[in-house]
Amino acid sequence: MDNVSIINMLLVLSTLVILYFWLLIAKRRRKKQIHYAVLSMTASILLWNMAVLLYMTFDNVPWILAICERLYFLGTILVSISILFTGLIFARTKIKFTWKHGLLFVVPVISIGVLLTNQSHHLFYTVFSLIPSKQNFGIYFTIHTIYSYLCIGIGLAYLVIFSIKNYGVFSKQSSLICIGIMIALIMDAISTFKIFDWSTAIENIAFAVTISFFVIATVKFDFLNVIPIALQTVVDLISDSYVVIDEDLEIIDYNQAFVSDFSGVSRKVDIMAIIKKNYSDLDVKRFKGFLDEAIREQKKVSFEISKPRDEAIVYYRVEITPIYVSGNPIGTIILKKNITEHKNNLKEVMQLNERLQSLATRDWLTQSYNRYFFDERLQQEIDLVNRLQAYGLESEKSVNNFGLIMFDIDYFKNYNDNNGHLAGDELLQTIVTVVKGVLYPTDILCRYGGEEFAVICCHTSEKGFEIAAEKIRKAVEDYDFRFQDKQPGGNLTVSIGAAYCSTPNVNKKDLITRSDNYLYLAKSTGRNKVVLSE
């Protein structure tokens, strides 16, 4: 078998390889810019190969040879610009075509025009042959060659640089792409600069080898399905779950933490299917809503989500970040961070704040409200009455009136002297418990000082206020306190002074003074009684 037959066989085989690669990409249902760019590059190489194959097969048919000459150069013109855009789109994932991109087609369009009219001026070539030593090119061919090599060089540089960034210097994808490109460049240079006087069909076969490497990188390693702007390497050592999805919500990339958190994870799987498999319908609905919001409004969206685990609740913060290049959506990064420790720490801080708030507003001994809280809250109630009396409806005026009850323990000094201060402290605590038992939830019990207490009866009528004061007195009188038999009269009681607030322009100091005066009156007229304002 001679060399020509071997070259013919290899050329046929290379043409089939290129055709297979073209069909492999063409049959994809959802194509992106990178797929269309590679399709055009492959189609150009296929056109170039077919021209050479037909030229060698029908070398005795002049009209076929004339057509093949033009198709040969047309393929070389188109393949250079196709390689440039393939590299450009691969680097940026998606580009928005502008007039600047249109300028890149000026030279190829002129080249096509010069080629088609070559018979009249021979600016492109004067003698065509598949053997380099027999070729004779025109002046314009130099311009075409320089521009073509610039396009091919820039396009291949993009492919090499960003494939290495994407997959790593020593990855299988990068190695295959770099080896394939180097083979094509070396063979093309040998043919163009006539280093060896062999058939240019060898160059076509070399490009087919390059395409073969691309086929392996694409089929086996998913070369064309990647977002270069996303993380360049899967970071499996970080504890946060990380996943990248494309415009169709299919998973492109993820780390080991994401696999640990979610079952059924693999590339090209819809992210919503993974979420549905691992979370409740309500969580799925929330996630979809936030995902749509992030993509629609082109902004980062974060939210919290929880999941039961080992009889505890685990909390996560999910951040959804859409990726845009020149205003074009190219994918989305989703980060899920475990914030359980942070939530627990925050809960402890809130509990501490509540405790501090309690220390600031409550009496340490009885746990009733202290004098500070009493002054603040009493003024608020007075302000409310004043405002409603001035501007409110009639129905609002009466329902928001309130009363102030002041009471203290009868003969408390006697109780302390006979039983000791510890017993006195216990008595104060018991008194608070007894009084709270007869108050409404809206009533506010405060320790005013020593053995004296105050009750703000909020949102009550005058009749209800009188009943509340009497209930306090009666509850204490009926309770069986320790050592009460040692008290004068054989019982422990309280005296009460009470003032009702239903008129505007009430002054806090005056209201307290009135209640305290009525308390003094109750004590001076026999104790264990309620004295009310007129």
Each residue's pLDDT expressed in tens, for the chain with a length of 534 residues = 455 677 777 778 777 877 887 888 788 777 788 788 888 888 888 888 888 888 888 878 888 888 888 888 888 888 888 888 888 887 777 788 888 888 999 999 999 999 999 989 989 888 888 777 777 888 998 898 899 889 888 887 887 777 666 555 445 555 666 666 677 667 666 666 655 556 666 666 776 677 666 666 655 555 555 444 344 444 555 667 888 888 888 888 777 778 888 888 887 888 888 888 888 888 888 888 998 888 888 888 988 888 777 777 888 888 998 887 666 777 888 888 888 877 777 777 777 777 777 677 888 899 899 999 999 999 998 888 888 776 765 555 556 788 999 999 999 999 999 999 999 999 999 999 999 999 998 899 999 989 999 999 988 888 989 999 999 999 999 999 999 998 988 899 999 999 988 776 678 898 999 999 999 999 999 999 999 875
Name the DSSP class of 503.
S
If you count them, how many residues does the chain have?
534
pLDDT of residue 413: 92
Q: Sort residue 300 into left (φ over 0), alpha (ψ -120 to 50) or beta.
A: beta
pLDDT of residue 471: 95
Residue 436: which H helix or E strand, with range?
Answer: helix 421-436
Instruction: Write b or e for each residue in 28-38: b if 16 or more Cβ atoms lie within 10 A of its Cβ, otherwise e.
Output: eeeebbbbbbb
pLDDT of residue 48: 81
Cβ atoms 87, 157 nearer than 8 A: yes
Q: Which is nearest to 268 in space by CA: 13, 11, 29?
A: 29
pLDDT of residue 232: 42
Q: How big, in percent rounded to 5, are the helix, strand and coil portions of the chain?
A: 60, 15, 25
Contact partners, residue 464, CB within 8 Å, separation at least 6: 457
Strands (E), 102-158: 125-127, 136-137
pLDDT of residue 198: 60
Cα–Cα distance, 286 to 283 (Å, whole number): 5
Rounded to the nearest 5 degrees, what angle is found at the Cα of 90, between the Cα atoms of 87 and 92?
Answer: 110
Cβ atoms 58, 64 nearer than 8 A: yes
| SS3 (DSSP) at 434 | helix
Q: Which CATH architecture has domain 1-229?
A: Up-down Bundle (1.20)
Name the DSSP class of 25.
H
What are 97-104's contacts with CB under 8 Å, separation 24+? 104/151
| Residue 495 CB-half CA count within 13 A | 18
- Using CB atoms within 10 Å of the CB of residue 447, give its burial: 0 to 12 exposed, 13 to 18 middle, 19+ buried: buried
Q: What is the domain class of 362-532 according to CATH?
A: alpha beta
Residue 10, number of CB atoms within 10 A of its CB: 16
Cα–Cα distance, 2 to 266 (Å, whole number): 50
Asked, colleague to colleague, whether 1-229 and 238-343 share their fold, the answer is no
* Residues β-bridged to residue 312: 309
| Residue 334 CB-half CA count within 13 A | 26
For the chain, the domains span 1-229, 238-343, 362-532
Alpha-carbon dihedral of residues 499, 504, 507, 513, nearest 10 degrees?
A: -20
Contact partners, residue 290, CB within 8 Å, separation at least 6: 301, 303, 318, 320
Distances (CA, A) of 473 to 261, 436, 456, 490, 526: 63, 12, 15, 16, 14
Instruction: Write b or e for each residue in 361-378: b if 16 or more Cβ atoms lie within 10 A of its Cβ, otherwise e.
Output: ebbeebebbbeebbeebb
Query: What does the block give as tokens for 522?
Result: 């109750």
Query: For the domain bounded by 238-343, which CATH number is listed?
Result: 3.30.450.20
